[in-house]
Structure 1
Amino acid sequence: MKFVQTVHRGARMLLLASVFPALGSIAVLGVTAATPAAAADLGDRGYSKVPAIVARGYDWSGFYIGANAGWGSSHDTWSVDQTGADAGSHSSTGAVAGGQLGYRWQAGALVFGLEAQGNWADLKGSHVLNEDGTNAHSTLNAFGLFTGQVGYAWNNTLLYAKGGAAVTRTKYEVTYPGGADVSGNQTRWGAAVGAGLEYGFAPNWSVGVEYNHIFAKRFSTSFYDSAGFTDPDKVARVGGDSDLVTARLNYRWGGATSAKY
């Protein structure tokens, strides 16, 4: 009886030993088969892309208003109106300050604009007319510029040229020995050209430096005494060009920045 039980136990052990290796092989095969499927399943899933880096490009478009201040020089050449005889010349120099209002629009790197500028000025100069102490004086006390602009922008740096019309207000004066004097005021139109460099240091703020040259033809002016009287002898031909250099500060409404991908 014990022999029979022993035989049965041995048979069961042999059966289990043969079954477990088979199960192990099946498990290995199952894992191997499942691995490519899992990989394929992972491959089908879409990966989230890293957001594109956004570069901010400076936009010069829009209306702007600003202030300017600097220095100027105006050259005056005098002659006797009746005879054309040379009466000498001088340069009038001094400070200028004022404001500007304009509009710009940008197309790619090109920037176009229109601007009106008005300035107070104190450009004074004089020279000796006669050895007896008679002197000629001139003071450019105001000017205006009405110009168009075209420029090229490197992001927040703008280089531009400008041109258009100019108007000046100048006082001419002759002083005589003993304190007597005659004077005349003239408002004259001419042409202007210039160039500037501007830098945007904030979305709507920019600073710059600008040069302008005003072309002014010489003209005849009458001089009046303190009582408002003149005579044909008190007429001279005067005038000349002006050069201006100013620093500028502008505030702009408009484009500020635009996204570039």
Structure 2
Amino acid sequence: MKKFLLGTVGVMALGLAPAMAADLPARAYTKAPPVIAAVYDWSGFYIGANAGWGSMRDSWNGFGLDLGNHDSTGAVAGGQIGYRWQAANWVFGLEAQGNWADLSGSHVDYNWLPAWTEHSKLTAFGLFTGQVGYAWNNALLYVKGGAAVTSSKYDFTVGAPVNLVASTNDQTRWGGTVGVGFEYGFAPNWSVGVEYDHIFISRFDADFYNNGLVLATNRVGGDVDLVTARLNYRWGGPVVARY
């Protein structure tokens, strides 16, 4: 009798199991979360440092003569501050840059006897530019242009038996500049880059003094080419989410 009851209960349980399973609600489908791609954002204020090399092509004229020319070359170092804003892949910006420079050179002028040695030295420059660039995520290629200011000094020496030195005062000159650069964001707020700039400086008449007296007025000056490496730190949203 006991075995009969146990068997009956078992058969009933087997019969109820499919029915109970049929009454259970269907499992809801859960959509996988969207993939979020981090996109670099170049917007924000930035400050940085730069260092590199420069060359100034300096031509001299005086007394109705071509007095020759030379390249003044050397190191440059300084800093920059600016602001960029990004619209889609386009990046726009404004920047001010100031640099110490040590671009110096000379040549011997054989128009005279004894010969003169003419020296040029660029000691500082500043750039005030606008930028337009195109960004591929954390890589940015840009062009720039605007105003430039340079500080330079010139002198000539006359050898024995005259033994004379004549120098200009510091010459501050304004001109224009254009450039191109590439920058790479290697961390959320840090980027490194390389930049080429050309400074247009019109030649000008400079007075040369010795003991307070003007000994000569020569036409001097020339354009400047610069190549610098840059490191920037930016404030602002470094990445945005894109679904």
TM-score scaled by structure 1?
Answer: 0.83
Q: How far did residue 230 of structure 1 move?
A: 0.6
Q: How far did residue 186 of structure 1 move?
A: 1.2
| Matched residue, 1:250 | 232
| Matched residue, 2:194 | 209
> Is residue 39 of structure 2 the alignment partner of residue 74 of structure 1?
no
| Matched residue, 1:180 | 164
| Matched residue, 2:175 | 190
| Matched residue, 1:10 | none
| Matched residue, 2:102 | 122
Identity of aligned residues (%): 61
Q: How does 1:1-261 map to 2 (within 5 A)?
A: 30-38=16-24, 41=25, 43=26, 45-80=27-62, 82-83=63-64, 85-130=65-110, 132-178=114-160, 179-184=163-168, 185-225=170-210, 227-231=211-215, 234-261=216-243
Q: How far did residue 99 of structure 1 move?
A: 0.5
Q: Which whole-Å CA distance do the structure 2 matches of 1:120 and 1:20 have between them?
A: 100
Q: Which whole-Å CA distance do the structure 2 matches of 1:197 and 1:20 have between them?
A: 84
Q: Which whole-Å CA distance do the structure 2 matches of 1:171 and 1:183 have between them?
A: 8
SS of alignment partner, residue 36 of structure 1: helix
Alignment deviations for residues 184-205 of structure 1 (CA, whole Å, 9 cap, x no partner): 1311111100011111111111
Q: How far did residue 146 of structure 1 move?
A: 0.3
Q: How far did residue 154 of structure 1 move?
A: 1.0
SS of alignment partner, residue 214 of structure 2: coil
Q: Which whole-Å CA distance do the structure 2 matches of 1:200 and 1:237 have between them?
A: 45
Structure 1 residue runs of 5 or longer lacking an equivalent are 1-12
- Code of the residue aligned with 1:37 in structure 2: it is D
Q: Which whole-Å CA distance do the structure 1 matches of 2:126 and 2:6 have between them?
A: 104
Q: How far did residue 50 of structure 1 move?
A: 3.4
Structure 2 residue runs of 5 or longer lacking an equivalent are none
- Code of the residue aligned with 2:28 in structure 1: it is G
Q: Which whole-Å CA distance do the structure 1 matches of 2:108 and 2:18 have between them?
A: 110
SS of alignment partner, residue 255 of structure 1: coil
Q: How far did residue 177 of structure 1 move?
A: 0.8
Q: How far did residue 37 of structure 1 move?
A: 2.9
The alignment yields a C-alpha RMSD, in angstroms, of: 2.3
TM-score scaled by structure 2?
Answer: 0.89
Q: How far did residue 46 of structure 1 move?
A: 3.0
Q: Name which of structure 1's ranges 60-69 and 47-56 shifts more when overlaid on structure 2.
A: 47-56
Q: How far did residue 256 of structure 1 move?
A: 1.2
Alignment deviations for residues 40-86 of structure 1 (CA, whole Å, 9 cap, x no partner): x1x2x434443333221111111111110000000011111x52x21
More strand by share: 2
